[in-house]
Amino acid sequence: MAGPSRTLFVCSCEDTMPLDAKAISRGCRGQKIETGRQLCRAELERVRKAAASGAPITVGCTQEAPLFSEMAEEISQAGEIAFVNIREHAGWSSEAERTGPKMAALLAAAAEPLPPTPFVSVESGGVVLIYGRDEQAIEAGKLLKDRLDVTVMLTRPAEISPPRASEFPVVKGTIRAAKGHLGAFELTVDDYAQPAPSSRGTLKFGESRNGATSHCDIVLDVSGGTPLFPAHDLRDGYVRADPGDSAGVLRAVMKAGELIGTFDKPRYIAFTEDLCAHSRSRIVGCRRCLDLCPTGAITSNGNHVKIDPIICAGCGSCAAACPTGAASYALPPHDSLMRRLRTLLGVYREAGGAVPVLLLHDSDHGAELIDALARHGDGLPANVLPVQVNEVTQVGLDTLAAAFAYGASQVRFLLRAKPRHDMTGLARTLALIDPILAGLGFGAGRIATIETDDPLALGIALRAIAPAGVAPQPAAFTPMGGKRDVTRLALRELHRAAPVQVDVVPLPEWAPFGSVEVKVEGCTLCLACVSACPTGALSDNPERPMLRFTEDACVQCGLCKATCPERVISLKPQLDFRAATAAPRLIKEEEPFECTRCGKPFGTKSTIERITAKLQGKHWMFSGQTSRIDLLKMCEDCRVITVTADGLDPYAATERPKPRTTDDYLREREEREKGV
């Protein structure tokens, strides 16, 4: 049973932007549209009355969201309220008269439900290590001593005046290694020494030692040296400032002073270790996430990887690159983001919009840049639909394929001029989707990045985008299932809606789709590749010696290639749209080798013949005795029976060659020199 219809409140913000109520109504059918001029002040009672009815409402304003939320808290039966920015994203634009379809799309997409965000708790007891080089670190300790448990460590200190009173420990040392996070740092310190209490003119230290260990909750680094962690600005609890920037040091001290207590941090990545294709039997296959993680939150852990949710900074590169779906982004989940894109693009088209361009951006940098462009420039073009994500690097192939299947004409990623995260993962994603779009007739260059910190440059770049066509028959599928399943579904729908229907598209060598090629003449059907394959793409037949391949399940992890003892397997990255419905491909099949004594099949002919050829006449145990070679052609049961019945003694075989010693080699060399 459907619930009450949603009411959309759309405000002209004191007539600073036009409202196309007809376009909004076309796109948001079945929903009540309420327009106003000053809903946050003079017309607030209208919103209050709608909220009191218990029906869900959407308010087209984010600036006054705190006011509306406070109002809703005062109403006991208030319905759910969603907020969306239609002013800076649409109305405040030089093309404002044509933004009705965009407003409808933004309002509809804002109502798409998002699952709750999972959190992990981090606890800090307030033990801080201030790592510096001079009195500046000691002054920072004085500012924090009343709030935190302070220890100051000076690296290679020069002349430091002894403190009048020992209010907190001041030691000497140089941090050699560091690991951990807020609430659980572990530091390895060399040249560690305690101060001498008898220091007079300058601070003197006692005998130093290396390899000391220090544990703390917070590290305040004002040493000016190399950061202690990769991507140091993303490591919670590690606060670093340039000692030459006094204002920056003060901000760092204030930030460190707040890091005490219990904190809830989003669990950015949902990880299912059973799906991980990292390694099997100590042979490494996929390591895409390990190579991309900027913070070192991902480590190898046997057959799979391990992701530390507290060290993870949420860039999402691992989830975007994971070929099996073992790592998936949770803020929001991939299927929630795709449903929002489906609503956004579908409503935009229904409301009369054309050639939509998706602008993917984050909240810290992108949202501020878009606001500045609207307030001080020409605003966003009417066909540019902004989509805010937690990090642009979280967007993977599944989302991009779905976006074009749903009817996007172009996609742009808004990045910082100097990105905080490594963009290698995003660059690989773009390099992966580009040949797919080109092969399906969409053309090249449909996806690009805009790297700027200047809002006016952003506007220029967006208006320079040339119009491009969309899918002839846009899809409307509902994303459901695991990440790998949703990716396959999105690609199939993209193929169905594409201008050109091709079956196979070649991909770059690190792509997560493809085939395996086997040099059949060298394969002995040992089936080591079947045991190593983590997805079941390679399979056998328990009834016959056989090797089969299911391309739809292959993630190109390379474990089969690394495991194969004959080195006859190679990878062929490609996207075959027929793979989803194709039957497993037979790679090789042989007649089973039957035991020469009882007739029981127990191996393959090629394997037995190869082993026999390698041993007969070449190994001391099988030299000159046919009966011993015959044992290799028997099953395990007959082999034991024959050895027992015939009294074959393994030590009674031809005498083993005598071991060669150094004297033998020296004698032979001497004989060669003499010409003997």
Instruction: Give 418-448 pLDDT, tens digit per residue.
Output: 987 789 999 999 999 999 999 999 998 899 9
Q: Is the dihedral of CA 519, 522, 528, 531 positive or negative?
A: positive
Averaged pLDDT for residues 519-526: 90
Beta bridge partners of 517: 570
Distance CA 541, CA 376 (A): 68
Distance CA 524, CA 354 (A): 58
Angstrom CA distances, 603 to 124, 565, 596, stand at 61, 17, 12
Cβ–Cβ under 8 Å, residues 392 and 360:
yes
Residue 652: the pLDDT is: 60
Cβ–Cβ under 8 Å, residues 161 and 199:
no
Residue 624: the pLDDT is: 59
Distance CA 622, CA 638 (A): 18
Centre a 10 Å sphere on the Cβ of residue 201 and count the other Cβ atoms it contains. Answer: 8
Averaged pLDDT for residues 260-270: 96
322-353 pLDDT, tens digit each = 999 999 999 888 899 999 999 999 999 999 99
Residue 444: the pLDDT is: 87
Cβ–Cβ under 8 Å, residues 42 and 58:
no
175 phi/psi in degrees, rounded to 5: -75, 120
Averaged pLDDT for residues 48-52: 93
Averaged pLDDT for residues 182-210: 94
Distance of alpha carbon 94 from the chain centroid: 38
Q: Evaluate if residue 125 carries a pLDDT over 90.
A: yes
Cβ–Cβ under 8 Å, residues 29 and 9:
no
Distance CA 483, CA 580 (A): 15
Q: Could you give the dihedral angle defined by the CA atoms of residues 179, 184, 188 and 191, in that order, rounded to the nearest 10 degrees?
A: 130
Residues near 194 by beta carbon (within 8 Å), at least 6 away in sequence: 171, 205, 206
Q: Evaluate if residue 2 carries a pLDDT over 60.
A: no
Q: SS in 3 state form for 205-229? A: ECCCECCEEEEECEEEECCCCCCCC
Residue 544: the pLDDT is: 85
**In the chain, % of residues over pLDDT 90:** 77
Instruction: Show the beta-strand stretches assigned E in 133-266.
Output: 149-154, 170-181, 184-193, 212-216, 218-221, 238-240, 261-266
Helix, strand, or coil (residue 662): helix
Burial state string for 272-301 with b = 16 or more CB within 10 A and e = fewer than 16: eeebbbbbbeeeebbbbbebbbbbebbeee
Residue 334: the pLDDT is: 85
**DSSP code for 159:** S
Amino acid identity at 287: R
Q: Is the dihedral of CA 22, 24, 28, 31 positive or negative?
A: negative
Mean pLDDT computed over every residue of the chain: 92
Distance CA 242, CA 161 (A): 22
User: Which of these, 384, 480, 400, lies nearest to 440 by C-alpha position?
Assistant: 400
Averaged pLDDT for residues 180-187: 97
Amino acid identity at 68: F
User: Which of these, 320, 484, 490, lies nearest to 402 by C-alpha position?
Assistant: 490
Residue 625: the pLDDT is: 58
Distance CA 102, CA 513 (A): 35
**DSSP code for 89:** I
Instruction: Show the beta-strand stretches assigned E in 84-148.
Output: 119-124, 127-132
Q: Two tokens at 297?
A: 């939150």
Angstrom CA distances, 91 to 10, 341, 409, stand at 11, 21, 22
Range of lowest pLDDT (156-165, 240-249, 372-381, 618-627)? 618-627
Cβ–Cβ under 8 Å, residues 89 and 10:
no
Q: Evaluate if residue 656 carries a pLDDT over 80.
A: no
Residue 1: the pLDDT is: 40
Residue 161: the pLDDT is: 87
Distance CA 556, CA 537 (A): 10
User: Which of these, 298, 292, 300, lies nearest to 321 by C-alpha position?
Assistant: 292
90-110 pLDDT, tens digit each = 999 999 999 999 999 999 999
Distance CA 158, CA 133 (A): 8
Q: Evaluate if residue 459 carries a pLDDT over 80.
A: yes
Angstrom CA distances, 130 to 179, 217, 236, 422, stand at 16, 11, 15, 28
Cβ–Cβ under 8 Å, residues 178 and 229:
yes
Averaged pLDDT for residues 514-536: 94
Residue 623: the pLDDT is: 64
The helix (H) or strand (E) run that includes residue 39 is none
Q: Two tokens at 67?
A: 């006011």
Residue 137: the pLDDT is: 95
Distance CA 346, CA 335 (A): 16
483-499 pLDDT, tens digit each = 999 999 999 999 999 99
Indicate the pTM of the whole model: 0.88
